[in-house]
Homo-oligomer: A and B are copies of this chain.
Amino acid sequence: MPSLLLLAGDGIGPEVMAATERVIHFFNKRGAGFELQSGLVGGTAVDNEGAPISEATLAKAMAADAILFGAVGGPQYDGLSYDMRPEAGLLRLRKHFDLFANIRPAICYPALADSSSLKREVVEGLDIIILRELTGGVYFGEPKTIEELGNGQKRAIDTQVYDTYEIDRIGRAAFDLARTRRNHVTSMEKRNVMKTGVLWREVMEETHKDGYEDVTLDHMLADAGAMQLVRNPKQFDVIVCDNLFGDMLSDIAAQLTGSLGMLPSASLGAVDSTTGRRRALYEPVHGSAPDIAGKGIANPIAMIASFGMALQYSFGMVAEAKALDAAIAETLAEGLRTADIAAPGDEAVGTTEMTDAILGNLEMS
């Protein structure tokens, strides 16, 4: 039986996860047979279990086929120490399961093109993916310290480290992904100031030559790339970059679509050569939105669409994933809007109504 671990987390996490459970149950009624477990993560886990993720929860994650992750963080946790901050739970999961390939689609639904701060013609029909390296770079490199220098001064250090194999495997993931799309990869780095950028470009070139020459590979400096993303995002297909650039670039790409509350993501590990399985975590790109938590108004679409990515990438249920995406698009086309995507004058619906409507459209598919 396929199994999922649900880690709802903080803020609006539990609300959007509850909405997604209803969608999972829909597929179970149709025989999918998902087994669900749940656990705590983030600030809620610190409050209840003394750490942003407990060993018991990690063990549950190990036993599950895939993890659905909500969101973590909130102002009440701002005072926690670095090791106890809610984000540490998420970072630990990424590293522990070696989820190096973070797929972040930026799709602009026609029904929502006007809610972007960009001109309609610049973003309408946008469909690009930021493929972010997720387990290396400055997020995890050592030393990562703050030392006292005496004289009242402190020195903080972060280290960005990349090995050939780390760049090679994310490069292959990018080329494989591009082959299912428009066959075009743009690699972004700062080779003019960073040695990791120099190696990044070198390995991308080598990997490209190793059986991927049918895919077009371009290079851009990350600063110029950020500009191009704002100027003319439709020029891209798959953008591949390191962990920190990916953090920035995927958030920018998400913002272009005007609907952060709609965007899912998948974080994948390597395919296990004996079991054929692949570790995976699915999470919305949005955060925990503490300001609207508990009000029943959060947009559940990004979380539901993250489950859709799980259907596709972890369970090979491609038809079901397509049906779910279509039900979401249909619901938007019908005019349903949660507050975050409502235009002035639109009537906004709550989390439950939005989920009802998606389930209704699923029923009919």
Contacts and interface: CB of A to CB of B under 8 A. Distances in A.
A96 interface: no
A146 B199 contact: yes
Interface in A236-255: 244-245, 247-248, 251-252, 254-255
For A117, A139, A149, A287, the residue with the greatest tally of chain B CB atoms inside 10 Å of its CB is A117
A165 B149 CA distance: 11
A227 B251 contact: yes
A274 interface: no
Contact of A162 (B118, B156, B159): B156
Interface string A256-278: 10001000000000000000000
B82 A190 contact: no
Interface string A134-157: 000011010011100100111111
B193 A138 contact: yes
Interface stretch (A28-36, A218-226, A328-336, A349-357): A218-226
Contacts of A138: 138, 158, 160, 193-194
Interface in A205-228: 222-224, 226-227
Contacts of A153: 163-165
Contacts of A118: 117-119, 230
Given A87-B192, A162-B156, A226 B251 contact: yes
Given A223-B248, A224-B251, A252-B230, A196 B117 contact: no
A227 B252 contact: yes
A198 interface: yes
B231 A248 contact: no
Interface in A68-84: 73, 82
A205 to B, nearest CB: 12
A198 B156 contact: yes
B154 A163 contact: yes
Interface in A28-52: none
A85 interface: yes
B162 A160 contact: no
Contact of A164 (B117, B122, B152, B230): B152
Contacts of A317: none
Contacts of A163: 149, 153-156
Interface of A: 73, 82, 85, 87, 91, 117-119, 122, 138-139, 141, 144-146, 149, 152-165, 190, 192-196, 198-200, 222-224, 226-227, 230-232, 244-245, 247-248, 251-252, 254-256, 260, 287
